[in-house]
Amino acid sequence: MRRRRASAPAPEPDPTQGIELRGVGHVYGERTVLRDVDLQLTEHRVGVVGANGSGKSTFARLLNGLVVPTSGRVLVDGLDTATHAREVRRRVGFVFQDPDAQIVHPTVAEDVGYGLENQGVPADERAERVAEVLARYGLAEHADHPAHLLSGGQKQLLAVAGVLVMRPARIVLDEPTTLLDLVNTRRIAELVAGLDQSVVVVTHHLDLLAGFDRVLVVDGGRVVADDRPAPAVAAYRALMADR
């Protein structure tokens, strides 16, 4: 008879440890998308850049356990994403490139409340926190509007609001501005800059990385540069110029 493996009780998370990748590799079928990644991310703002298909989306998904590595381990504040996925996802919010894929309820306020419902937050506190977040991101007047009628920029704000309302300790954003115009890109950039949480942003918008603490360049499934933004971006430009 098959038995469900009992997961070990979660150890107390230790925020000073940050996100740690130990000998991480990932394979989809026969395609290797990441190999030999060893990193410790303790900085407040970390950027990740790389060409299409370089493995950076998989990298982002490793950080909150959406993808579990086929080799090696990913530890978030000391919690292993393979064995403590639930706790890890509670700690790490994730914003997707396409907001349409992450808005799951028909109206704005209902969607923001969704994550809180999953956390078992009581209805009146839920309503209060939803209203507060909607007001902060300029969506209050749209609370009862159908989500599909929002503009692209508003949809991305809604997606971010739906994550922030859950008060995660860390946030990973996977190309949050790729589908946005300049104004909305700037709006998201300002929003990210103002967050108290530690942030990892995967992006093609190199301007976004200006004030960051550390930037990783991913190529062919490896981290090929790891530096302050200016030298890392220069390395990335040089790498792409050779193609």
* Residues found near another protein in the complex (CB under 8 A): 61, 64, 66, 86, 89-90, 93-94, 96, 98, 100-107, 110-111, 113-115, 118-119, 144-148, 162-163, 166
- Residues 143 and 131: their CA atoms lie apart, in Å, by 8
CB atoms within 10 A of CB 243: 5
Distance between CA atoms of residues 224 and 50, nearest Å: 10
Give the Cα separation of 17 and 82 in Å (integer).
17
Q: What's the min distance (Å) between Cβ of 211 and another protein?
A: 26
Closer of 64 and 198 to another protein (Cβ):
64
Token match 């309302």: residue? 165
Minimum CB–partner distance for residue 96 and another protein (Å): 6
Closer of 110 and 213 to another protein (Cβ): 110
CA distances from 48 to 139, 182, 224, 232 (A): 29, 20, 11, 10
Smallest gap from Cβ 90 to another protein, in A, equals 7
Nearer to another protein, 26 or 214 (CB): 26
Give the separation between CA 170 and CA 93, rounded to whole angstroms: 6
Q: Which is nearer to another protein, 45 or 142 (CB)?
A: 142
Least distance from another protein to the Cβ atom of residue 208, Å: 21
